[in-house]
Amino acid sequence: MSDPVTSSLLSVDARTRKRNAAEKRFRFYGLSAIGAGLAMLVLLLVTIFGNGLGAFQQTFITLNVPLLEGKLDKSGERDLEKIKKVSTFGYAPLMVQAMEDALAANGIETELKGKKQAALLSKSAAADLRDFVINDPSMIGKTVAFTFLANSRVDGYLKERVTRESIADDKSIDAEQLDLVDALVVAGVIEKRFNLAFITGADASDARPEAAGMGVAMMGSFFMMLVVLALALPIGVAASIYLEEFAPKNWITDIIEVNISNLAAVPSIVFGILGLAVFINYMHLPQSAPLVGGFVLTLMTLPTIIISTRASLKAVPPSIRDAALGVGASKMQSVFHHVLPLAAPGILTGTIIGLAQALGETAPLLLIGMIGYIASNAPDSVASGLLDPNSAMPAQIYEWAKRADPAFYERAWGGIIILLAFLVTMNTIAVLLRRRFERRW
Amino acid sequence: MKDVTMNKIKISANNVQVYYGDNHAIKDVDVQIEDKTVTAFIGPSGCGKSTFLRCLNRMNDTIDICRVTGDIAIDGEDIYDRRVDPVQLRAKVGMVFQKPNPFPKSIYDNVAYGPRIHGLSRSKAELDEIVEKSLRRAAIWNEVKDRLSAPGTGLSGGQQQRLCIARAIATAPEVLLMDEPCSALDPIATAQVEELIDELRQSFAVVIVTHSMQQAARVSQNTAFFHLGSLVEYGDTDTIFTSPSDPRTESYITGRIG
Ligand SMILES: Nc1ncnc2c1ncn2[C@@H]1O[C@H](COP(=O)(O)OP(=O)(O)OP(=O)(O)O)[C@@H](O)[C@H]1O
Ligand SMILES: [Mg+2]
């Protein structure tokens, strides 16, 4: 005991000074940890947006195309079957013609041959034009202003990814063509603008990065999430309620409990190989189908949902259960009338976080063939959405990232932005639902 | 004052033993609880009052490690018989807990919940009537009549406890078990609840656990004194408080053990 005369509240004693110093140090460590974390986050976001925003812009070339009847519909009958017989080779000369017209109209001179001029257009340009005509044969005979995708090299040139130095060894474009691009940009024929097709379109082959889009993979992800939600939520919640509220506490439930916790930590690729063995090899469900992907992701999400649901059920004060049982409610009434509504915000949050996890999961999809599959058409019904081969958003991103053409690299980053947008949206919904349903007791 | 006429026996418990795992919490208790009477359970903390009370409406069933043996009969029917559904039993034997535990719902819904699940009302008007009557009897109607749709959890502790009493009597039980119902209440609210208990005695058998000797003396006609899991003495409240036959009872009520 210190002498009461010597201890004054106005002077800090050595021990207190030491403790205060320790506290200050600890706060400093904490702040630096948070600072480091924030710096990483900023770095991540800057990289993603710096690399990926370009994918949302695309270079387009608008030309007046003479849709000559003599080339596209020799009979003049506008018979769709006959029009369809004209392949993209029949359309190529029209595009060359249109290009030359555009040069003449803008007073641009070049020594390039027509074919090389038309090479500024995407390799899918002729197919796009053909689709346009087949959709609306009445356009034959007219001259239409058609907006073509520019070749990815042209796009890259406008985005400064492709430079005159970098094309030295590039066979698909040369310096004269770039001169022509410069002139056409000045004339307003070539312009860069927002590209909705990147968000809604299908993936494209290696030769046409400019046409590749995320849309079909997004549908694949959507249908997988539908399956996950429809299966994992009811199964997970029912299992949790049973385990938490009804199951006797004995060694069997202990084993189940331990197993669920362990399942949550199992690497996702294990679920993938399980899916391959059970759903595809044994049950003969179609390969690469979102249905199977959904099953696999359901297995992966279930432990997450069960654990968070049980935690929220546990958090409901037992006095509420006593109160319900005390007025003569049955066990089930006490759970469904009182406990579950109180646990709902936690359950919803857990479910959405589980879904978000599943949305970004790539590894298990590898084994059931959803990576590397290029679906060219969006599903037209729920059944085809579930059963037709498709990819998924993270699978699409992985696919693009591993392709050689740097134009795909940009799209991979762009895809990540879309994926992030989905995740942020889902998490926001989780927070909002939580706020909305949270009640205090 | 104890009624001159002896009431009929509502609950009769014989050779009741309760174990929590290896812990023998209630040892061979025999008690006859009279109808239309307030019976007080007193005794030092941890002696098993709540445990025994919870046997009477089988709330102990919810505790996994709890095991009850012996006979407890209400109106001559063994409540631990295999054919008895505890849910049905609890509608007949209402309970008010030590800690107020209103549902996180509106005041109205708190009271209406029991009648609803037991189908005690045929119309909304009838339900309204039950709710009002119960709240009135619990001496809380005047405080809440203007905010029946406000959450029950927003009331003060004492109001919450009276709301819980209203909730318990709304299901028209035959027995009302109250575990230290006044431990969270101020003297005024306590007085109101005591008045209420006295009034409830007209219709039910009331069993109340209390730590207050004065309260036991004020509201009960019969008193049971528990000590270390055994029923030491049971009888007429006046007798217990004026001339206890067991020395342990005497030292407890005079404040020497507890
Ligand atoms: N849920 C439980 N699990 C295990 N043991 C319990 C449980 N509830 C009570 N007990 C034990 O049973 C004995 C009696 O407890 P009980 O709650 O009935 O006492 P009490 O007389 O109500 O005490 P108090 O006046 O403090 O409320 C105690 O030894 C206690 O430890
Ligand atoms: Mg107690």
Instruction: Name the strand (E) or helix (H) holding B205.
Output: strand B205-209
Note the pLDDT of residue B3: 45
Query: Does the beta-carbon distance from A440 to B102 stay under 8 Å?
Result: no
Long-range contacts of A435-439 (CB under 8 A, 24+ apart): A437/A344, A437/A345, A437/A348, A438/A345, A439/A341, A439/A342, A439/B104, A439/B151
Mean pLDDT of chain B: 90
Note the pLDDT of residue B4: 45
8 Å CB contact between B128 and B143: no
Residue A438, chain B, CB below 8 Å: the answer is no
Residue with tokens 């927003």: B154
How many CB pairs below 8 Å do chains A and B form together?
Answer: 70
Series of mean pLDDT values for 10-residue runs along chain A (441 residues): 65 89 96 97 94 90 87 80 84 88 86 84 88 87 88 88 83 84 88 89 84 90 93 94 89 92 90 91 88 93 93 92 92 93 90 90 87 78 85 90 87 93 89 76 47
Out of A319, A320, A333, name the one closest to residue B117 (CB): A333
Residue A335, chain B, CB below 8 Å: the answer is no
Note the pLDDT of residue A202: 86
Chain A residues inside the 8 Å CB shell of B59: 322, 325-326
Strands B205-209 and B38-42 turn out to be parallel
Does any ligand 1 atom lie closer than 6 A to the CB of residue B45?
yes
Give which of A327, A333, A334 to mutate to test B binding, by max B Cβ within 10 Å.
A327
How far is it, in rounded angstroms, from Cα B60 to Cα B69?
12
The beta strands (E) that lie in A133-253 are given as: 143-149, 190-194
Note the pLDDT of residue A5: 58
Q: Which tens digit of pLDDT belongs to each residue from B168-177?
A: 999 989 999 9
pTM: 0.82
Q: How far apart are the CA of B46 and the centre of ligand 1, in A? A: 5
Alpha helices in A316-403 (DSSP H): 318-326, 331-333, 340-359, 363-367, 382-387, 393-401
pLDDT band at B96 (very low <50, low <70, confident <90, very high): very high
How far is it, in rounded angstroms, from Cα A399 to Cα A417?
16
Note the pLDDT of residue B15: 93
B238, B243, B248, B249: CA torsion to nearest 10 = 10
Note the pLDDT of residue B168: 93
How far is it, in rounded angstroms, from Cα A251 to Cα A255?
6
The values of phi and psi at residue B231, to 5°, are: -85, 110
Q: How far apart are the CA of B26 and the centre of ligand 1, in A? A: 10
How far is it, in rounded angstroms, from Cα A78 to Cα A86?
12
* Paired strand residues for B17: B69
* DSSP per-residue string spanning A31-55: HHHHHHHHHHHHHHHHHHHHHHGGG
> Domain spanning B9-103+175-253: which superfamily?
P-loop containing nucleotide triphosphate hydrolases (3.40.50.300)
pLDDT of B256 > 70? The answer is: no
* Paired strand residues for B176: B94, B206
State how far the alpha carbon of B137 is from the alpha carbons of A260, A266, B195, in Å: 50, 58, 10
Chain B residues inside the 8 Å CB shell of A317: 101
Give which of B50, B117, B167 to mutate to test A binding, by max A Cβ within 10 Å.
B117
What proportion of chain B, given as a percentage, has pLDDT over 70?
97
Q: Which tens digit of pLDDT belongs to each residue from B127-162?
A: 999 999 999 988 889 999 999 999 998 898 888 988
Query: Does the beta-carbon distance from A327 to B99 stay under 8 Å?
Result: no
Note the pLDDT of residue A440: 54
Does any ligand 1 atom lie closer than 6 A to the CB of residue B20?
yes
Instruction: Indicate the domain borders of chain B.
Output: 9-103+175-253
What proportion of chain B, given as a percentage, has pLDDT over 90?
65
Chain A residues inside the 8 Å CB shell of B95: 326
8 Å CB contact between B104 and A440: yes
Window 224-253 of A: residues touching B by CB (8 A cutoff) are 248-249
Note the pLDDT of residue B6: 67
pLDDT of B13 > 90? The answer is: yes
Residue B104, chain A, CB below 8 Å: the answer is yes
Q: Which tens digit of pLDDT belongs to each residue from B29-74?
A: 999 999 999 999 999 999 999 999 999 999 998 888 999 999 999 9
Q: b or e along B50-77 (b: 16 or more beta carbons within 10 Å of the residue's beta carbon)?
A: bbbbbbbbbbbbeeeebebebebbbeee
